[in-house]
Amino acid sequence: ISPSTVGDTGGVEFIKSMGKAYSSYRDKNGNLGTINEGTFTYFCSGQVHEANTFGPNIGFVDRLYIFGEEIDDGRIFAIHEKTLYQISGQGTGDAAAIQGGVNGMGFDSLENAALISTGEEDHVAIMTSPDYGTQAFRLYVGIKGYQTDGQSCGACAGDENLLARNGLAFGSWWYLEGDLPSSGSLTGSFGTNIGAAITYSKHEDVDTNPNNPTQVVMGNENYGVFLFDYELGFQNGKFDAANSSFQVTRSPASAQIPSPDNVEWAADGSIFVTSDSSEGNINRILPNGNVIEIGRTIGSTESAGILDISSLFDYEPASILLTNAMYCPSALHVLINPDAVLTLPPTSSPTSSSMPSAIPSHMPSSSPSARPSPEPSSEPTTSSSVLPTESKVPSYEPSVNPSLTPSFSQNPSSSPSETSSESPSISLIPSLFPTGTP
């Protein structure tokens, strides 16, 4: 943190320990194997998902950290209690024969994956964002309680059945068919035709709205910030792709955020966006759509990764952030809102025993792609599907004020500010946060 801008806090003991997140490995079928770290390539963003993610029995059964390789035909992995599991691949069972799509969890370049609420207990839904590879968005729908051979394992107890009980052993995937709008919104559907898929270079990070987890925000370095809103239908215990759809909206804030990369949707409704640019801008989109630049990297390097860790310290959302500057060597920085407000009186100073053993919900981004891409079409597509109301399961009922969802329908105003420094660091903007607003 730049002390010339915000003053010297004197420092506190912050990181208690660090080390590898895994010590053992299991393959797609749950079999123990040997970790071959020499085959790992370009791990990018990642995200932790709590057990009962969206309510009792909705979402994952266990606490999982999901991440993958940002390379053509890359693998997707999960970590649970020091064991690394490979999710990508197919089993001998054919989930596509049950619910359609393409069997298994496909191999592709992965920037990040967003877990979406299905509103029911039997399935999980994951949106994957590929920076390289096919560069086409996919939706994976997994069936809980089934092994890779398509056989039910009931509660699927034991480490060997972790993927099965979480819907990651048996499932299938679809492309998101449609287009990115140059402004406003478009509606899309799910299918297996890559020619109809939303395919552009520089799809970057994705994150789920914690207040309405059928919504996902995505940063595209070339085209802006986009909001996906899913309507997932289920019939007779099966995913109904034909009667499901999504809407994608381009944020007007895109005009004020250069090269959007990593994103974080905070519980107060703010969306934080880092820029893959020489200035490394760090911006906050407020719930009303206004944009505030809260910082930038100094030293001609991008700001990679943004994470709201406020809840670990009993502070209001958007009070304490972690971000990373990708100069060499890279550095992790803490951004603290000077108007931060406690949600609960602290019982003790943060320690490894009093803090949750959380893996950050976003890991820093890896090196960006330099591939060129066409401009997105400005003509609305008509690839939407009509959703009969009787086929839809309500995906989520927010328990908070709906105004916490940012407005993507108005032209936001910015709060420009200037900063300079000679040292490679995060430079904070004096208007770090709106006064009185954490």
Cα distance between residue 423 and residue 335, in whole Å: 17
Q: Please report the DSSP string for 84-99 in residue order.
A: EEE--B--SS-THHHH
Residue 130: both structure tokens together: 């590929």
Are the CB atoms for 35 and 26 separated by under 8 Å? no
Residue 231: both structure tokens together: 């309507």
CB atoms within 10 A of CB 253: 26
Cα distance between residue 398 and residue 416, in whole Å: 33
Q: Please report the DSSP string for 138-179 in residue order.
A: EEEEEETTB-TTS-B-TT--SGGGHHHHTT-SSEEEEEEES-
Residue 403: both structure tokens together: 């105004």
Are the CB atoms for 225 and 253 separated by under 8 Å? yes
Instruction: Report angle CA 236, 239, 240 to the nearest 5 degrees.
Output: 85
CB atoms within 10 A of CB 309: 16
Residue 109's pLDDT is 73
Tokens 């607003």 correspond to what residue?
437
Q: Which residues pair with 79 in a beta bridge?
A: 65, 84
* Preceding amide of 258 cis, omega within 30: no
Cα distance between residue 347 and residue 303, in whole Å: 34
Nearest 5°: phi and psi at 99? -125, 0
Are the CB atoms for 214 and 117 separated by under 8 Å? yes
Nearest 5°: phi and psi at 84? -95, 125
**b or e along 199-233 (b: 16 or more beta carbons within 10 Å of the residue's beta carbon)?**
bbbbbbbbbbbbbbbbbbbbbbbbbbbbbbbbbbb
Are the CB atoms for 47 and 30 separated by under 8 Å? no
Residue 391's pLDDT is 33
Residue type, 269: G
Q: What is the block-wise mean pLDDT of the chain (438 residues), using blocks of 10 residues?
A: 47 77 95 91 89 97 94 92 95 95 89 94 94 88 97 96 98 96 96 94 91 95 95 94 97 93 94 88 93 82 85 91 80 86 61 33 35 38 33 35 44 36 44 36
Cα distance between residue 108 and residue 389, in whole Å: 34
Q: Please report the DSSP string for 12-43 in residue order.
A: ---------S-SEEE-TTS-EE---GGG---E
Cα distance between residue 72 and residue 53, in whole Å: 30
CA dihedral (67, 69, 72, 74) in degrees, to 10, reads -70
CB atoms within 10 A of CB 49: 22
